[in-house]
A and B are shown apart, each in its own frame.
Chain A
Amino acid sequence: MSSRTIELELATPGLDAQGRPVRVPLPADGQPVGSELGGEHLLLNMGPQHPATHGVLRLVVELDGETVVRCIPHLGYLHSGFEKLGEYRHYNQIVPLTDRTDYLSPMANNVGMALAAEKLMGIEITPRCTVLRVIACEMSRIISHMVWLGTTSIDLGAFTPFLWAFQERERIYNLQEMWTGARLTTSLTRVGGLMADIPDGFVERLREFTRTFPKTLEEIDRVLTRNAVWAGRTQGVGVLTAAEAINYSLSGPMLRASGVPYDVRKDKPYLGYETYDFEVPVGEHGDVYDRYLVRLEECHQANRILQQALARLPDGPINVDDPRVILPPKSRAMSDMEAMIFHFKQVMEGVKAPVGEAYVGIENPKGELGNYFVSDGTAKPVRWRIRPPSFINLSALPKMAEGHLLSDLVAINASVDIVMGEVDR
């Protein structure tokens, strides 16, 4: 152990101009201080219970001084086997599992899973349902980015934006509660529709939110974007070039911050996104700062989409008119023989999907969320695969962190925007 300790000769000529004691290490025997410290590496275990790892992520970090030489992530502490569970459930029974994957944007996950199941079964959803699902997706984008912004700013030492972001998130959560009765486990969608239409007063409250939300974004922008500490901690940190981002299969804001303009909403539109007027922000440097800028701008754009969706929200049914897929209303199931039979068949047998497979990727707040169903003609999928965006984004963490300081590792890890429920599934 003796080689690790080093006797520092401190320059102690007295006090400096401000009267503080001067403590500058002097070179010992002509060697720069610290050269003896090189060579012996320290193994540091970070997590799984660590506030800066954003969940139960465990990083084993090899340090040379304060520099990260190697970073080895260990996952699986939150592995719940959702994909296995899905093979034993009807399609509608899978919806509650999707709430629990990326639990910071449950409604968007519900939508993604329902779209894949509908693609598999060849179901066309109603116009009102389409617009309501767009509203659900964009509300999710805002709350997810607000959580990201709040927690990242806390990681980097800014407490105030955290409170502002969480206040805004709370307003969306109240809306989610109004709509579905649940704040987190929304289980919004059903195959072929939604579990409920929006209640009275929802549109007015959401419109009020979209009117006032940009003000908070501007305040956050004013506090952080040109803040010297924020820029210093994030600019040039965790850089990935466009080619690297593509090679690592990154998606969402991580990919776009590196300058690759790919957004599923624009390039493979679903839910009629091609008819909305919105921009896709693209970064330039691929560092933590650009990822922040991209996410901040995405909140503005999500707000715009929400306003357009509210303006065009059509009347009409939210569910497809197909008794094989959609449960009849309870009153009819109790009084009408036909409806009761359909009710019974759906509850006992479930909705049967034709033989085949379908993959639908949607632009979730974290990146491209893919749902892949393989069916053998029964009511339960043979295979339900979630393409987890934050799992794949996290796989680039060692590449980004190596060579940076340990304190930058916190910033880089925060910039990936992981949710362990989705990483581990």
Chain B
Amino acid sequence: MIPGALREEVARDGETIVFVARDRLLEVMTWLKETPGQQFDYLVDVTAVEFRDRERPLQVVYFLRSLTRRADLRVKVELDAAGDLAVDSVWGLWRGADWLEREVFDMFGITFRGHPDLRRILMWETYAEGFPLRKDFPLRGRFSRAEQVRQALNANPEAHYSLDELSIADAWGDLPDDMRERLKRGERGVVPE
């Protein structure tokens, strides 16, 4: 029995799903990775599920695999949509979680505590419309097509680099004064009216 497991289910493809309490996720994952007999050394995928039924909690789904034992396992954490959407990052266990967790953050707005570089990955960093894969996000986006085009055309070039990158090569000193001022105030990519 896996420590910290709340309940188990069998999916329609025959795989075992283990539900884990949010606070014990990292502990359970470490146990699963490092215990002999478990050895889930490979992280297949990380994703999240939100149901159409708003009452049901969001799920963060981890697909684990043991390459030595040739076995799979699915671990789920349930998050209350009205509450704090945050879980611990498994970045320290599997480096493959880096971009996968960033994508879940980008698409669902779920924060992974302890992730060293939790930025948007598919949407641009200054994207302001919310989280596209949430059910309350309309298929065509929150803004009209005309507004989206206007924003895209008016976006400042500085929005395309992160501050981190601009600090390389002493580029900071070469920037125009007004851009430096804006960046200091944290106004990256603000669309002019």
Q: Residues of A at under 8 Å CB distance from B?
A: 40-43, 60, 62, 70, 72, 74-76, 79, 81, 83-85, 88, 119-120, 122, 244, 246-250, 260, 262, 267-268, 354, 356-361, 368, 370, 372, 374, 376, 382-383, 385, 387, 391-392, 394-396, 399, 424-425
Contacts and interface: CB of A to CB of B under 8 A. Distances in A.
Contacts of A60: 161, 165
A109 to B, nearest CB: 16
A39 to B, nearest CB: 10
A382 B67 contact: no
Contacts of A119: 12-13
B45 A370 contact: yes
- Most B CB contacts (10 A, CB to CB) among A268, A357, A360, A385 go to A357
Contact of B122 (A79, A374, A394): A79
B95 interface: yes
A268 B164 CA distance: 43
Given A260-B67, A359-B63, A395-B96, A383 B43 contact: no
Given A76-B122, A359-B11, A42 B169 contact: yes
Contact of A43 (B61, B137, B169): B169
B67 A262 contact: yes
B168 A43 contact: yes
Nearest to A391: B99
B49 A383 contact: yes
28 contacts: A41-B168, A75-B121, A76-B120, A84-B132, A119-B12, A120-B12, A120-B13, A246-B41, A246-B42, A247-B95, A247-B96, A249-B44, A249-B95, A356-B11, A356-B12, A357-B17, A357-B49, A358-B11, A359-B11, A359-B74, A361-B44, A374-B51, A376-B53, A382-B52, A383-B47, A387-B45, A387-B63, A395-B96
B139 interface: yes
B67 A395 contact: no
B49 to A, nearest CB: 5
A304 B42 CA distance: 30
Contacts of A260: 67
A284 B122 CA distance: 33
A171 B192 CA distance: 52
Contacts of A41: 168-169
A358 B63 CA distance: 12
Contacts of B133: 83-84
Contacts of B95: 244, 247-249, 396, 399
A267 B71 CA distance: 10
A395 B169 contact: no
Interface of B: 11-13, 15, 17, 41-45, 47, 49-53, 61, 63, 67, 70, 72, 74, 94-100, 103, 107, 120-124, 132-133, 137, 139, 160-162, 164-166, 168-171
A41 to B, nearest CB: 5
Given A42-B169, A79-B122, A247-B96, A370 B63 contact: yes
B90 to A, nearest CB: 11
Given A41-B169, A383-B50, A385-B47, 9 more contacts: A72-B162, A76-B123, A79-B123, A122-B12, A244-B95, A250-B96, A382-B51, A392-B100, A424-B122
Of B12, B47, B164, chain A has the most CB atoms within 10 Å of the CB of B12
A260 B132 CA distance: 36
Q: Which of B51, B74, B120, B168 has the most CB of A within 10 A?
A: B168
Contacts of A424: 122
Contacts of A356: 11-12
Contact of B170 (A40, A248, A354): A40
A387 B124 contact: no
Contacts of B12: 119-120, 122, 354, 356-358
Contacts of A376: 51-53
Contacts of B99: 391-392, 394-395
A368 B122 CA distance: 20
Contacts of B122: 75-76, 79, 424-425
Contact of A374 (B49, B94, B100, B170): B49
Nearest to B97: A249
Contacts of B103: 391
A267 B166 CA distance: 46
Contacts of A361: 44
Nearest to B106: A76
Nearest to A395: B99
A1 to B, nearest CB: 9
A415 B45 CA distance: 22
A68 to B, nearest CB: 12
B42 A85 contact: no
A323 to B, nearest CB: 22
Given A356-B11, A357-B11, A376-B52, A370 B98 contact: no
Nearest to B72: A268
Contacts of A391: 99, 103
A28 B99 CA distance: 46
Contacts of B17: 357
A88 B52 contact: no
A179 to B, nearest CB: 28
